A and B are shown apart, each in its own frame.
Chain A
């Protein structure tokens, strides 16, 4: 059945900002879908609020709306574009939920837009737990016993009927928000209450606990002619009870016999048919009782998911691309397998390696939250590793996580860990459990002891036990005692050179050299969908230690780009965007591009993005192995965030041809003394400070410059462990932690500039000329991490003189550092003085935002500069001026971490970003808030409570809000300030004094906005319950005066007239 000819224009809904449970995998799937549909000649309209995506690049879709993803905006776009169809299954849960709401509001019907990929009833049947369960029972499949509840009374009845422990899952949420396992009555009531609130339809499923059962996922595809294939099976290392996004998972399944697996396959096919997913991919989860084999169906996602991105990368079968083609009428046998070229897509991939995915957590960012795992997802990213055995893939994955482990290593000494702690850490699922399994084995626990404590399948524990046993054989040997066979064996178990160095009391480089002397080098094998049965044409490689290397090394000029590894807070999709752009740009110049990355969610690890893809951990050893083989003409470390930058010097020392800004310049920007010299030389202002290596030095410097001080370890990203410190005690605490974060690098201490305006600048330079890419004014004051702050391009409150000063300073810094490529500078403006806060000679997080706002592809230009093009040749000679306003706003994961306060500080906490773009600041800001989640209210009640210093300023803000018709609630001091200025406001008491009125109003949804600027430690604790509750109920909560000011502007502009939508292509051409 060929392509449909009755539709021409298709609207694709993206997934919006990166949040926990919805990350770059939807950029990957969305980009694939847009490209696939465009290739077929369809006009593609895209809506996505996330500027850091490849899919929102102006050339990917025909019209790209970087606008809030809401039904109302969909309607505006539909009116403008009049698409024939909407494809909602590639934008994650956000895309699906928005489409569902739009249908319910009758929007699609009104404009004659048909939904393709899945219809309303199908989605309802799959997503609504009760419908789903009924459907499963109808086709003879088993499900956990359960009951539905819509209120607490029904929930309690279910508790009586089913008995504890119970699992509570809210319907229609993302990544299991608000769900949990209840072991006690109290827990049950708390989780049930939260679940009812976080469900879009106030519905929770209360379910028989299948905790500890084996967990499986199958990725299924179906076409219009009812042909169904299973793309990949996944077995979770962690058993049921831990969200699959937080579990270590393995592909393909390992411990089911064929008879059992085929039963699951049959069930999957029956499910996709019964639910009625007409075309495209779905993901179906099963649990299997390890004692009896009883198989129950857990859930189904009737759309492309995180697991399907993983399955695509694990098999080479591009699920999203094919899903898009199936949605427009093709059948599986009409689609060619890109990898083999000759065989069709109507097959089931066979793989000849083992894939391990390991989640990346950032509990260190939220010290108040425990690193305990459950049914609600908490990880922010993941790494995938491919090896010929599970042991090899697991160890590669652990070093690919970039959390300071070089495999299943001995970072902690098992002798120093108590039995009690081991048992506790094994029993209660947590982020480092896999290491505790090792420690337990080292302590002499048997495989079955560990199985009993963890409920992890014995096969996995046995494999870890084999690693431990082999390690024991090697411990204490000298390197030169190892022959090639012995070294081969340990490398085949996935041990890194660094681990071997630790065992043999040598160093990583010695092991590397010795290994090379014995002629033992990594070989590269292909991911080919077919286990070598057919010739493969796509160069998608992984390393292993075996007899035959399949890497096809060409004699072309080639550039290697090092990616950013797993997503984490501070290093995410923005850097992947830059890496992809580097690849695209260099391809344009005729270079062969080689991508190295370990993050399965990304566009960079699509085998289509670069000429060659090496799916490998970003460690010195793994990267050097590829360099040894490929001998690239240049290696780019500027685009992948801090990960490749941290490797730069060592790579350079081993002879890797790093291109772009020199290693010396990078060090000069990071090394405090060098940097001071540079600043002095240029005569630029800098907050006084110093660089210290000990507690004593720190105390000296701080007392010299005076508190408060801003402290941070050097060479980290995302303000990891960065803090504003007000006294010596806190400084000493900080020094201890800083050493844990970055052992080899000193700590920087600066005088903290209070109430300064922060400015971010991205600069392009070619060694001769520098051009400003964009100047962004932060909404929040200096001291809030730039990644967490909202920012505006162009600056909206700075004078031309100040902007000129900033420009001048940025250009002289890039000249002095001899930047080739991109550089980011952060400035603080206080009392008309311009201070330099920080200089990073690499692509920054704001690059995609600036590129989207100005239409200047900064990363592409930078990549071309790095291979020798001049800015002049590239036609980039002056800063782009724009006539519109773009606002970047950050998105936070606070609702995931109960007990965590939402106050912003120098440590970055946001997971993602959105962009609001319009002709005025007010409208752009309003859009940005709407996209970020809460959205600013147009009317209703606003609660205000500010610190003393802010009282004078808040009066003007409150006055305007009051004039706009808002009702104002305020606490004592704030209320007094309002009263004396003649602003109508109602007073509420402090929670500490027993007045819980505000909390009640928040729960009832009566308060529409909260403005709360905290003062010192005491004020923070009093308002914390209010802020936490606001987060749980999705009520916007502004914690800075500047944020409040911006919000007022936003509300004002929207009260005057509703906003309009406009594709990015129009903004950019208007400015050209």
Chain B
């Protein structure tokens, strides 16, 4: 009998659906909300995106790890997600920039990977039943026990995960630049900082709980609200600082930043059934009619109907499901988008929004 030398691992969902596979990366037991990502490439950027904190990510593309891991393509200082699900992990890495295999990288970061999963079946399940809590384990292989544990786990709703991913102190990303931009870090991706740096900005990163006064004291030319994990409604402290900042300084919000801005402007957010996670979502800029293929990673969304249309212009819309993708204030210098113009991974189409932010900063008369 041919021996199968992989270590067995089980993925159990809170609704009782179970998938058996093999472990790669670290061993152990890990909890999170299962979401699927439809990007064909970019697993390294996904692994290091702090917005996935508290989540277990299933890659819908089946062959993962092919080009390995390199030092340049990280999006933050570590891996924040709690588990990684693939159909097949490549035991070798083939790329001139690769420094290690995916498996080694997960192992070093103590992250559980599970392979051999019918990821399409899992994806369909999530699509039909919604994102849900789950556990991956190599220790406990008892299905009933695992389902029970998954059910009892924390989940995302109402939980402030931002606190778990932010830097605890302010720091300068780069020292020089014509425009001083403060980035309110809720789990910021390096690509946001890189895009600002490229555009002649001096970038200062402040922790999410920085007060409005602390921010204004820095006298930045503009403020960028970053992406971040979890439920926007749980990050009340940012929303209250924002209320004080609106109208006082040019603001650009990305993803969670968009949601928090929406809340600060009096809107409401809600949870999408299974969210948008991938690099192929068409978004229309309603001002120009142009379509960008965008990078998306969000489970929550601003409710279009709760925004005051007198003050707020809807600038972007998702063509797949007509959900809100971007807003602009009609009086104050602020705008935000639900997707990721900074990319990493995914298409670069929406970069122009950083230019718009620079224009906003440039033209703002204080």
Q: Which residues of A contact B (CB under 8 A)?
A: 225-227, 229, 233, 252-262, 265-266, 290-293, 332-333, 342-344, 346-354, 388-390, 447, 457-459, 462, 470, 473-474, 477, 481-483, 485-486, 489-490, 525, 530-535, 546-548, 550
- State whether A256 touches B41 (Cβ < 8 A): yes
A347-B41 in contact given A254-B66, A266-B348 (Cβ < 8 Å): no
Let me know if B215 is at the binding interface, CB within 8 A: no
Looking at the complex, which of B86-94, B165-173, B195-203 is the stretch in contact with chain A?
A: B86-94
Interface-central residue, B3, B45, B347, by most chain A CB under 10 Å: B347
Q: Contact check: which of A347, A457, A470, A532 meets B293 at CB < 8 Å? A: A347
User: B63 touches which one: A261, A354, A485 (CB < 8 A)?
Assistant: A354
B118's partner among A255, A262, A546 (CB-CB below 8 A) is A546
Nearest chain B CB to A615 CB, angstrom units? 16
The answer on a CB contact under 8 Å between B73 and A257 is yes
The chain B residue sitting closest to A226, CB to CB, is B290
- Number of contact residues on B: which range applies? 35 or more
Set of chain A residues within 8 Å of B119, measured between Cβ atoms:
352
Q: When A389-B62, A458-B94 are in contact, do A333 and B346 touch as well, CB less than 8 Å?
A: no
Closest chain-A Cβ to B48's Cβ sits at a distance in Å of: 12
Contact count A vs B, C-beta below 8 Å? 182
Partner of A532, one of B124, B280, B281: B124
Contacts A486-B1, A531-B60; A262 near B343 (Cβ below 8 A):
yes
Excluding A258-B73, A262-B348, A352-B62, 20 further A-B contacts by CB distance (< 8 Å) are A227-B290, A254-B63, A257-B44, A258-B42, A258-B344, A265-B347, A266-B348, A291-B96, A293-B96, A333-B319, A342-B320, A347-B281, A347-B293, A348-B293, A350-B39, A353-B62, A462-B90, A483-B1, A531-B120, A532-B60
Are the CB atoms of B345 and A258 closer together than 8 Å?
yes
B264 to chain A, nearest CB (A): 31
A262: chain B residues at CB < 8 Å are 343, 345-348
A450 shortest CB reach to chain B, Å: 13
Distance between Cα atoms of A265 and B41 in the complex (Å) = 12
Q: Which residues of B contact A (CB under 8 A)?
A: 1-4, 19, 36, 38-42, 44-45, 60-63, 66-67, 70, 72-73, 87-88, 90-92, 94-97, 118-121, 123-124, 127, 278-282, 284, 289-291, 293, 319-321, 343-348
Q: B61 contacts A350, CB within 8 Å? A: yes
Of A225, A254, A292, A332, the contact of B96 (CB 8 Å cutoff): A292
> Using Cβ atoms and an 8 Å threshold, which residues of chain B touch A265?
347-348
Chain A residues closer than 8 Å to B127, beta-carbon distance: 532-535
The answer to whether A348 and B63 have CB atoms under 8 Å apart is no
Q: Are A389 and B40 in contact (CB under 8 A)?
A: no
Question: What residues on A are CB-neighbors of B19 within 8 Å?
Answer: 547
Kindly list chain B residues whose C-beta atoms are within 8 Å of the C-beta of A534. Answer: 127, 320
Residue pair B2, A470 in contact (C-beta under 8 Å): yes
List of B residues within 8 angstroms of A226 by Cβ: 290
**Which of A459, A483, A547 sits near B121, CB closer than 8 Å?**
A547
| A225 to B290 CA separation, bound complex (whole angstroms) | 7
Q: B87 to A388, Cβ gap below 8 A? A: yes
Bound: A450/B228 CA distance, A: 45
A262 to chain B, nearest CB (A): 6
Q: Which of A293, A343, A489, A530 is close to B97, meaning CB atoms less than 8 Å apart?
A: A293
Taking a contact as CB atoms under 8 Å apart, the answer to whether B61 and A352 are in contact is: yes
- Give the nearest-CB partner of B94 in chain A: A459
Question: Do the beta carbons of B123 and A349 come within 8 Å of each other?
Answer: no
Residues of A within 8 A of B91 (CB): 462
- Whether A259 lies near B63 (C-beta < 8 A) is no
Are B320 and A261 in touch, CB under 8 angstroms?
A: no
CA distance A265 to B118 in the complex (A): 29
How near does chain B come to A143, taking the closest CB pair, in angstroms? 20
- Chain A residues contacting B121 (CB-CB under 8 Å) are 546-548
- Write the nearest CB–CB distance from A741 to chain B, whole angstroms: 36
What chain A residues lie within 8 Å of B290 (beta carbons)? 225-227
Min CB distance B325 to A, Å, is 14
Q: Nearest-CB distance from A853 to chain B (Å)?
A: 47
Distance from B57 Cβ to chain A, minimum over Cβ atoms (Å): 14
Chain A residue numbers with a CB within 8 Å of B320 are 342-344, 347, 534
**Are B123 and A344 neighbours in the complex by a CB distance under 8 Å?**
no
CA distance in complex: A349, B39 (Å): 10
Chain A residue nearest to B124 in the complex (CB): A532
Top 9 nearest A-B pairs (CB, nearest first) are A258-B42, A258-B345, A548-B121, A531-B60, A459-B94, A473-B2, A350-B38, A258-B41, A348-B280
The answer to whether B40 and A351 have CB atoms under 8 Å apart is: yes
Contact of B282 among A344, A353, A462, A533 (CB under 8 A): A344
Determine the chain A residues whose CB is within 8 A of the CB of B123 once the complex forms. Answer: 352, 531-533
Residues of chain A within 8 A (CB-CB) of B39 are: 258, 350
- Set of chain B residues within 8 Å of A533, measured between Cβ atoms: 36, 38, 60, 123, 127, 278
